[in-house]
Each structure stands twice: as C-alpha cells, then as structure tokens.
Amino acid sequence: MQEIVTSGLLAVVIIMAVVLILFAGRKNSQGMTKKQRTMLIRILIAASIMFVLQFISAENFAKLDTYLFSSAGRWLRFALYLTDYLIIGYDILKKAFKGIKNKQIFDENFLMAVATIGAMALAISANGDYVEAIAVMLFYQIGEWFQSYAVGRSRRNISDLMDIRPDYANVERNGKLEQVDPDEVGIGSVIIVQPGEKVPIDGIIAEGTSSLNTSALTGESLPRETKVGDEIISGCINMTGVLKIQTTKEFGESTVSKILDLVENASSRKSKSEDFISKFAKIYTPAVCYSALALALLPPLIRILFMGLSADWGVWIYRALTFLVISCPCALVISIPLSFFAGIGGASKEGILVKGSNYLEILSQTKYVVFDKTGTLTQGVFEVYGIHHNEIDNQKLLEYAALAESASSHPISKSLQRAYGKELDRNRVSDIQEISGNGVIATVDGISVAAGNDKLMKYLEIEHIDCHQTGTIIHMAIDGKYAGHIVISDIVKPHSKDAISALKSAGVEKTIMLTGDAKKVANQVSSSLGIDEVYSELLPADKVSKVEELLNMKLGKAKLAFVGDGINDAPVLSRADIGIAMGAMGSDAAIEAADLVLMDDDPMKISKAMKISRKCLRIVYQNIAMALGVKFICLILGALGIANMYLAIFADVGVMIIAVLNAIRALFTKKL
C-alpha cells in the first residue's frame, strides 16, 4: 500500500516538475530564479531515480551476488540509493555541517540531516527501506522549493499591486520630449504627462484638461476631472488629455514617494504576533531536539533497567527521528509576516495606508472610535442648508443676501455666493455698513437690506422668527420688513451615518465625537448620525485631555482610535492608541502624524480598514493554531509510534502550503 502511494506521489512530482520547468521556466523575468530552477531539476532527477529504484526489489539485487561477491547486490543497492540521496540532499548536509561549525546547531538543516542520515543508517543495518529517508529529504526539498516559489511570487504580486512608482518624467527639451529620471526634475520645471501615463511629481496644471484615475492612491474608481490651475498629485494616472504640469515639489517629497516609502517600510514594524512567533521558534526547535534525544534514549533505558524488556533501540530512534522532521518551524514563521504583508497590500489597494503590521493588529482590537467633527464627519465647508419663513422667492432672497455680504471675505458670505451661483454685480450694492459680529446693512437696488443674526434684528427693532434648526442663522430684513432666514451649516458627509452604523456592526462598542463647535450644533450632528457620546466646545488642548481621559476609562485590551483630518489634530492623533487621518491625499502633515492614513475622505473606509484588519488577524491566528495544532498532534502520534516519517514530512510541507495559501487570502478585500 505504502509503495503504491509513494509511487503515485513520485509520479505526480515528476510530471509537475517537468511541466514547471517547461512552462514557468521559460519566462525568466517573472518565473523562477536560477536557484529555484536548479533545485527543481534536482528534484526531478532524484524523483525519477527513486521512481525506478522502487520497482527493483532487494531480492532482484540479491541475484547479483551469484555473479559477483556475496552481498554485492546489497552494496550496489545502497550505493544507488545513496547517490539519489546525495543528489537531493547534499546542500542540506553541507549547511548542517556549516551550522555545527558555526555553533548554530539547531536549524532545520541539522534536523533534516540527522533525521535522514539516521533513517539511512537504520535502513543499511536491515538492508531495508531506504526510500523513506530519501522521500523525507525529497519532500522536504519540494516543500522548501514551493515555499520559496510561492512566497517569491506572492511577494512580487503584492509589490506590483502597490507599485505606483513612476519610472520617468517627460520633459520638453529643444522642442522634443525626453524621458528623464524623476529625481532630476527640479521644482518649478514643466513636465508633460501623456494619456495613460502616471503623474510622476506633484504640481499644478499649466496646460490641458483631463480626467485622472486616482484608484492607485484612493481606491476610488470614479475618474476625477481636472483643469488648468488645479493641483495634481503624483501617482494618479492621466486618462484622456495631454497635461503640462508645473512641479511644486521634488520627486522625493512628492506624494507618491512618501506613500511608497510608507508602504514599503510598513511591514518592518512588527506586530506582537510576529514577535511571539519568532520568540517561539527560538525555543521550539531546541526543545523538540532535546525531546527527540530524550525519546531516543530514555524509553529504551527504562525498558532495559526497570522493565526487563529488550531495548528496541531501532524503534525508539526511528520515533525520535520522526520528531526531528516535525520540528521545523518554517511554516509558522513564514505565514505570519506574509499574512500581514498581504493585509497591508490589500488595504493599500483600497486607499488605506497602514504604517505597520502592529497597527493592523491594534486596529483589529479597536472598540472605541473617537471622531473629530469638522472635516471628518462633516465636510468642513459651510453651505446653505435651508431657507425658511421667506416672503419672497428663495433665489431672490439669496441674491439679496449674497449682494449685501459681497464685500465680506467671511466663509459665510462665500457660501452665500456659492449658493446663489451666478455672477454678482457689485454696482447694485451701496452704503455697505458692517456691524461687527452681527451682520451687514446695505442698500441693494435702492432698497435697504439687512442680513445678520438675531442681535442685528433686535438692533433694527424688527421682529424675527427663531429657527428650530441648528447652524448659523442669517435673518434677512428687506426694506425694514422681516423677509425670512437662511440657515447655513457645515453639512454632514453623505456616508457619515452609514459609516457609524458600519462601525457598530464591525464590533465597535462606542463612538464618540469631539468638537470645538457649539453644543447645540454638536448634539444635532451626533444624534443625526447615531453617535453615542459627544463632547462639545473643546479647545484643541481639551481634545488631548479628553482622549487621555477616555484612554484611562477603557477596559482591558480594547483599543481607542482617533479619527481626524490630520491638519490640526496631530497631537491627538499621536496620543490615541491608533491615529487615523482622513482625506490625506497631498497632506504631508497628516501622513506624518497618523498611524493609518485614508487617502480619500470617505468615513466608510474606517470600517473597511477594521474589517481588513480583522480578516488579516483572523488568518494569522488560524495559521498559528493550525500549524501548532498539526505539529503537536504529529509530535504525539510520532512519539506513540503511530505517525511515520512520511506523515511527519507531509505535516510539515502540507501545513506550510496551506498556511501560505491562507495568508494570501488577506489580500482580497473587495467583499468586506
């Protein structure tokens, strides 16, 4: 039975190896490295020899004895198997020897060398089954090969996904387009970006209109329209028109370089799970080696000394060798960083930049999310929200208001002008009288118009109607009569409400909003969004102390995240367990201060990021549990003599393959 299985497996290996050499090997650039190719050929040769040797039994070799000297067949058989063994395993033996010389004994090379040499020795003494030792070495090498191939492949794939690095910039010289290294382009030079090319350097559009694909930066697939005078960020892809861009930054300071730097170094900040595994691996391997030694020596000694039985050295040594095969920690060690790397890669595809594996871990434990209001949950731009109790047409009222306020540069007057939407003829306005903090009185088309707050109305002794809505209220009086009021407020982002409920369903226990705004406004916003707690009228310094207070209140392992726009809340971002900056495209300060950067300003991305982190961590724990579980089960089975070396090597290689494939899952984020 065992022979059939082994032959079948060998046949599969041979076919796979041939196919891989023929097809994947051809395209050298994206296929295998030279090392992997050589290894694959060695695997192929060793597997083929073994496949053939399998069919020649020891009895057939024994027939040689009659022609030559006695036991010649036995020696020939050994020599053939030994050759095969050396073909597949010589490098392992060499490395193991070097390891011993360098006093770095307990690595997997040593384990494999001892286990297979031991198995060979047992086989020589019995003229028995050499296949086992070679098969173990062969499958170990196949596992190693697969690991290096799969990891290399996925590493490249993930890196490609994040590859937004522009290779060149087009500069016009003597009327001709020239491709130059983006590093060589100085501030203020004009670069040309053709349709289909990446914008290499941040700048301002000097000529041309186009639509831009920002999906590499923000994960947003809708194209963004741009025109002359607009700021343009490197990393976008120009889709339709030729653009001339005057650069405002050097390449090294441009958004794309900053992001690349951040993403590439992200996996260098190691998470607790990674630290745990690397510490664990350091203890695990020596521990298993000593147990193997104990397993080889103690039971036989006990049997001889105390039980009066035969020692059965062979059996126990075999079990100990099986132990050694199981003890390789590689599956465990590889799958953890790979999972995090894939998670970070998947997140960056969505426009979420994570600055380190550790932050992905913290994010997955986040139970409290603290928001800044303006610019985070609301758009941070004041807009006309409603017009009430007016006696005249809405548009007419807006026109009067915009004209009366036309001299002011206050955001409110700007929002009125924006809402009016047409060009203002300043000549229609005269006698502008600004009453500080209250509003303006002006003459428009010869009619007196007053626009301002309730104090202005009281001052003019005009009866006004209070508004039930929150926001900034502009009461209007035309020709001495009350004409209604305009409500201006900072509008809530369209996704804010969904974002809060998505966070709740993603397992966040409490959402909290901090704002410097008036209590009434804050309460209205928070209740409309479904936020649990709100603290209003805070100064910037109060926000830090409030977050500290909240940090002290939270229980156990729960983590607190702060979400801000990254511009004026850097201290709070760094004080929280994890700081999330939104709408950071082009803002260096935000990228600098935050641990997690959302490239666009959609609050839905927060829950998305949390889901990605949860998935990633789930995969990490699955891999740890699976790898450890299978290894421990095999250790026990091996010690009891139920598991043989085949099972042991499949436990090792199989677990690793499953772990690597599982880790790759972290890359897929679309359905979250």
Tokens matching residue 390: 């007016």
Nearer Cβ to other proteins (104/545): 104
Residue 526's nearest CA partner among 537, 512, 540 is 512
What part of residues 334-353 is at the interface with other proteins (CB under 8 A)? 334, 336-338, 341
Residues 499/471, Cβ–Cβ less than 8 Å: no
Interaction between residue 451 and other proteins (CB under 8 A): no
Strand 510-514 relative to strand 533-535, pairing: parallel
Interaction between residue 527 and other proteins (CB under 8 A): no
Min separation Cβ 262 and other proteins, Å = 12
Q: Which of 160, 230, 312, 372 is catalytic?
A: 372
Q: What is the DSSP letter of 198?
A: B
Query: Measured between alpha carbons, how far is 513 from 533 in angstroms, rounded to an integer?
Result: 6
Min separation Cβ 269 and other proteins, Å = 8
What part of residues 247-266 is at the interface with other proteins (CB under 8 A)? 264-265
Stretch that binds other proteins, among 197-205, 286-294, 332-340, 526-534 (CB under 8 A): 332-340
Q: What is the DSSP letter of 507?
A: T
Interaction between residue 361 and other proteins (CB under 8 A): no
Interaction between residue 281 and other proteins (CB under 8 A): yes
Interaction between residue 157 and other proteins (CB under 8 A): no
Interaction between residue 147 and other proteins (CB under 8 A): yes
Residue 613's nearest CA partner among 368, 361, 370, 369 is 361
**523-526: long-range pairs with CB below 8 Å, 24+:** 523/470, 524/469, 524/470, 525/373, 525/377, 525/378, 525/492
Min separation Cβ 342 and other proteins, Å = 9
Nearer Cβ to other proteins (51/146): 146
Stretch that binds other proteins, among 45-53, 153-161, 199-207, 427-435 (CB under 8 A): 153-161
Name, in order, each residue with C-beta under 8 angstroms of 302's C-beta and a sequence gap of 6 or more. Answer: none
Which of 38, 60, 159, 433 lies at the binding interface for other proteins (CB under 8 A)?
A: 159
Q: Is 180 helix (H, G, I), strand (E, B) or coil?
A: strand
Interaction between residue 107 and other proteins (CB under 8 A): yes
User: Distance of alpha carbon 86 from its chain centroid, rounded?
Assistant: 42
CA-based end-to-end distance of the chain: 46
Nearer Cβ to other proteins (213/267): 267
Q: Residues touching other proteins: how many (CB under 8 A)?
A: 28
Helix (H) or strand (E) holding 370: strand 366-372
Buried b (16+ CB within 10 A) or exposed e, 358-376: bbbbbbbbbbbbbbbbbbb
Nearer Cβ to other proteins (352/572): 352
User: Distance of alpha carbon 53 from its chain centroid, rounded?
Assistant: 49
Which of 29, 268, 310, 505 lies at the binding interface for other proteins (CB under 8 A)?
A: 268
Min separation Cβ 268 and other proteins, Å = 5
User: Is 372 noted as a catalytic residue in this protein?
Assistant: yes
Which of 84, 108, 399, 602 lies at the binding interface for other proteins (CB under 8 A)?
A: 108
Interaction between residue 98 and other proteins (CB under 8 A): yes
Min separation Cβ 155 and other proteins, Å = 6
For 444, phi then psi, to 5°, come to: -120, 125
Which of 299, 329, 586, 638 lies at the binding interface for other proteins (CB under 8 A)?
A: 329
Min separation Cβ 612 and other proteins, Å = 17
Nearer Cβ to other proteins (95/554): 95
What is the sign, positive or negative, of the torsion defined by CA atoms of 20, 26, 28, 30? negative
Query: Measured between alpha carbons, how far is 302 from 308 in angstroms, rounded to an integer?
Result: 9
Q: Could you tell me if residue 370 is left (phi over 0), alpha (psi between -120 and 50 degrees) or otherwise beta? A: beta
**Would you tell me how many other CB atoms lie within 10 Å of the CB of residue 279?**
10
**Would you tell me how many other CB atoms lie within 10 Å of the CB of residue 227?**
11
Residues known to be catalytic: 372
- Residues lying near other proteins in the complex (CB under 8 A): 95, 98, 102, 104, 107-108, 144, 147-148, 151, 155, 158-159, 264-265, 267-268, 270, 278, 281, 329-330, 333-334, 336-338, 341
